[in-house]
Homo-oligomer: A and B are copies of this chain.
């Protein structure tokens, strides 16, 4: 009796859950410390202490009716104001509270903006490798995902193909930098070239093309790398941010959209995003968490911890002969499979109790994703298992 569209999606979910269950089963059989589960993007670094302090302060000081009550569907005005101010300080932007819509994480934000923008049949470009959930989000509003194939040299976007695939039906391009699954940060040069293409195509086709920047990993950047703020390069940019990784709050579902006034029909999009938040059943982002994150806009989870994981894992794997680009952000390594069929490689890894995700899940077969948001000990302890795996190939 379930909807036809859901049938396939449930089947895929079951596959992921099967992996999840297998991990749990292996942990039971061999002991959790002897299973090296690199399959999930679930932070292993706790929320910074400011989060708890902020929640306690709100519980102590705020009126219960305000703290837990309804507010505008777009969020508390003072929270949106605080977010705008923080962005302005950090990125020299000029946002005000009307540019911010508080959302149920970045996933909620992406759904709100896609609901707001897409007519059935509208095309949304995504750049492989990319987070597979974009397929579902775009399908929710009967849009069509158009995949730009991966540039496996640098994992910067394949801009030539991007330009070729823009049509009159292109409503949006989703970018994700620092990137899941590669950890690559799109350079300022990339951004300048990409936005020049979008500007040119907009003029040529007499359309508006929105650049949707999915930024859950913005704060996880290493070696002082610059992560360009895209609204400064292209007027039709919309940002979907999440506190899931920056404050290690993935379960709390809190993030925001930035909708600049400069975007085409910006005011209309702001009003429609407010309505879409309600209509999609979110109603508003969780109220206590809105207020809590507004007090923690400068706080960060322990990024150096991830950085140490990155260094040790990257160097270790390189030494073992694995082929991998050094990531500058997020908490993923995207490693070339020593055999063409990376699923076979994942199966072999599983025999050494190493759990990896095949690149096919990100429209980039031949690679595997290693999520290093695990404990440092897991990485150290996994190295002998990686060594044995390397020897097999």
Q: Measuring CB to CB, which residues of chain A are less than 8 angstroms from any residue of chain B? A: 1-6, 9-10, 13-14, 40, 42-44, 46-47, 51-52, 55-56, 59, 63-65, 67-71, 104-105, 107-112, 115-119, 133, 136-137, 140-141, 208, 210, 248-254, 264-265, 268-269, 271-272, 274-276, 278-289
Query: A208: which B residues are within 8 A, CB to CB?
Result: 1
Query: A42: which B residues are within 8 A, CB to CB?
Result: 69-70
26 pairs from A and B in contact (CB 8 Å cutoff): A1-B208, A1-B210, A2-B116, A2-B117, A2-B269, A3-B117, A6-B115, A9-B279, A10-B275, A46-B64, A47-B64, A56-B59, A68-B248, A68-B249, A68-B250, A69-B250, A69-B251, A104-B281, A108-B283, A109-B281, A111-B280, A133-B279, A136-B279, A251-B284, A253-B286, A286-B289
Query: A108: which B residues are within 8 A, CB to CB?
Result: 281-283
- Count of this chain's copies in the oligomeric assembly: 2
Which one of B1, B67, B104, B248 contacts A64 once the chains associate, using CB atoms below 8 Å?
B248
Q: How far is the CB of A14 from chain B (nearest CB, A)?
A: 7
Q: How far is the CB of A25 from chain B (nearest CB, A)?
A: 16
Query: A4: which B residues are within 8 A, CB to CB?
Result: 119
Interface of A, secondary structure class, is helix
Which one of B10, B63, B279 contacts A140 once the chains associate, using CB atoms below 8 Å?
B279
Which one of B10, B63, B252, B264 contacts A272 once the chains associate, using CB atoms below 8 Å?
B10
Query: A107: which B residues are within 8 A, CB to CB?
Result: 281-283
B46–A105 touching, CB < 8 Å:
no
